[in-house]
Amino acid sequence: MLDPARGEKIDSVPKGDREDVRRAVDVAERAYAKWSETPAGERSRLLFKISEVVRGEAEELAKSLTNEQGKPLGEAKSEINSFANTCEYYAGLTGRLRGAHTPFSTGEGYFIVTKRPIGVVGAILPWNFPVSLMGWKVGPGLAAGNTFVVKPASTTPLTDLKIAELAVRGGLPRGVLNVVTGPGATVGEEMLDNPKIQKIAFTGETGTGKRIMEGSSKYIKRLTLELGGSDPMIVCDDADVDLAVEGAAWGRFRNCGQSVTSVKRLFLFEKIAGEFTEKLVKKVETIRLGPGLDPKTHMGPLHNAEQRE
């Protein structure tokens, strides 16, 4: 792993292969038998506990995230909190997983709809928000009683590995949350090819999403695909211009602009266009670029050399 700010090596992780994925899936499948039957209240308690232990290590986790991803430390702290918040949110919903009771139209009898977990889920994560997006996937999935095999992005696996370790320390049974590091061409493809994985949850670029949809069709896996976007911001003539400028700058330059939901273009009503543009330019001139761990930094580096080029 390289520090995006300096290009220096900071750590290394195993380069997993298909066999590593198979072992992780088998472990997750065995853990599912018990985890899926764990009472909702106990799953809720454990999710709250995971949130607690992650918050307890937030400072070190944020430094780890900044070192591997490049974003400023304040943004990294916010992302760690996002993971903890997600766990708390779904912990609160766990006890409300209810089905339905509906009478037949004839009035004779009724049918019952029950909600059940689906099994082993494969989560494939991006490098731009590796921690919060792991939370968005495993939070609701664990609450519902599923188990996971997680593939972090090859350039940002460190903090996800640490959080998985903290989850076990917080009481999550071994085998419920598994992380396999390695390239998409092997680890990712085995997740598509493995019939024991019932669902794939993916966040990333659209081309890869198409490949995942295609590969999952062999076993008709359930899919959640969060793919690329290109978002406009519209500023009307009755807007608070100063507030809109702050929003545009944050929306464009947060995480060095490396977000699906970043502001990609602006549409301005003519009445405020001149004022807005002048104030936005002045705002951008104040943005300080530097290493993410420097407290004076407003915007960190682009994540890797390929993007910079």
Terminus-to-terminus CA distance in the chain, angstroms?
A: 19
Is residue 104 included in any domain, yes or no? Answer: yes
Helices within the chain (DSSP H only): 18-35, 40-56, 58-69, 73-93, 132-144, 158-169, 189-193, 206-216, 241-253, 270-285, 305-308
Q: Which residue in this structure is represented by tokens 């700010």?
A: 5
Calpha distance 196→217 (Å, rounded):
14
Is residue 1 included in any domain, yes or no? Answer: no
Give residue 249's domain range: 231-308
* Averaged pLDDT, 215-232: 94
Is residue 8 included in any domain, yes or no? Answer: no
Reported as a single tens digit per residue, the pLDDT across 36-72 is 999 999 999 999 999 999 999 999 999 999 999 999 9
The residue out of 166, 192, 226 marking a domain boundary is: 226
Calpha distance 257→308 (Å, rounded):
12
Is residue 6 included in any domain, yes or no? Answer: no
236, 209: one domain = no
* List of residues 6+ apart from 14 with CB closer than 8 A: 20, 181, 182
Calpha distance 194→103 (Å, rounded):
40
Question: Residue 87 corresponds to which amino acid?
Answer: C
126, 193: one domain = yes
The residue out of 226, 253, 279 marking a domain boundary is: 226
159, 213: one domain = yes
160, 260: one domain = no
Reported as a single tens digit per residue, the pLDDT across 178-215 is 999 999 999 999 999 999 999 999 999 999 999 999 99
Domain containing residue 60: CATH number: 3.40.605.10
Q: Which residue has the higher pLDDT, 230 or 131?
A: 131
Is the pLDDT score of 101 beyond 90? no
199, 168: one domain = yes
Reported as a single tens digit per residue, the pLDDT across 235-257 is 999 999 999 999 999 999 999 99
Is residue 12 included in any domain, yes or no? Answer: no
Total domains in the fold of the chain: 2
105, 209: one domain = yes
The residue out of 226, 258, 288 marking a domain boundary is: 226
Is the pLDDT score of 105 beyond 90? no
222, 259: one domain = no
Q: Which residue in this structure is represented by tokens 């099994």?
A: 119
